Amino acid sequence: MLEHKQIGFIGGGAMAEALIKGMLKAGLVQPNQITVSDVVADRLSYLTNTYDISPCADAQQTAGKVDILFLTVKPQVINNVLDTIAPAVSKSTIVISIAAGVTIATLQNKLPAGIAIVRVMPNTPVAVGAGMSAISLGKYANPQTGELAAAIFASVGRVVTVEESVMDAVTGLSGSGPAYAFVLIDALTDAGVRVGFSRQNALLLAAQTLYGAAKMVLDTGEHPAKLRDMVTSPGGTAIAGVHMLEQKGVRAALIDAVVAATNRSREMGKRQHE
């Protein structure tokens, strides 16, 4: 699918590195197909030495010679980047943006008319190949473009295609979700210490338990409530713990957290376009 395609990254940060690593590991591309542009020379040297890819200090030059262009920069600088690269981007180039809060319309207004644009919201576990990415297609992106983008992000986790209108909700759930999970792991670790474990063992027990529970949901396809019922035997320990979670409002707190993060994402997006 990506054979003979030249791929460029504007921005060589952690997300770009995760995608480069994932694509290479999955055999989707070879190092000589990838060019990265970044303003930090040391970062370019690191990526070049680590992955044997091609560095390029000139973003416009990178944009002008690739078939697939990733915009892996912070949203605060995206407008300047678009102004810089727009004259060089070919109409046949596929542009994939992970800049949070930057709409497809914003990208289309800055880039050549008719260009295929894909907006993606990945989360930080892409760094360990276990990310969750949501993809939205611009009006000039065809189904084949979507399949190509999905294949790339599947190399670093799982992928779902959504309407752009729910991207703020994606940010609130999966984009911010790792933070909620880290809070839960940290709290369970403290609980483990409280009942007598060393912190090292408590952390391992907590993290592996959440990892295993998530894997059961994904691998079996069963509803979480059904899997919970398999653990909670009558009058047992698990149901006593679940009862306490419900009593303390943990479920409602998590729902409220996702709603709050979604609303915050909407607010930030509005400010960006003012």
**Binding site members for NADP(+):** 10-15
Residues with Cβ within 8 Å of 5's Cβ and at least 6 positions away in sequence, in order, are 29, 33, 67, 68
Question: Using an 8 Å Cβ cutoff, are 11 and 71 in contact?
Answer: yes
Helix 237-247 crosses helix 250-272 at what angle (to 10 degrees)? 50
- Numbered residues of the known binding site: 10-15
User: Quick one: how far is CA 87 from the chain centroid?
Assistant: 28
| Tokens found for residue 186 | 């940290």
d(CA 136, CA 118): 6
Alpha helices in 10-113 (DSSP H): 14-25, 41-51, 59-64, 78-85, 104-110
* Cα–Cα separations (whole angstroms), residue 149 to 86, 103, 137, 153, 250: 21, 17, 9, 6, 36
d(CA 232, CA 236): 7
Angle at 95 between CA 149 and CA 89, to 5 degrees: 150
d(CA 119, CA 134): 8
| Tokens found for residue 234 | 């009558």
What is the maximal distance between C-alpha atoms in the chain? 69
DSSP single-letter state for residue 171: I
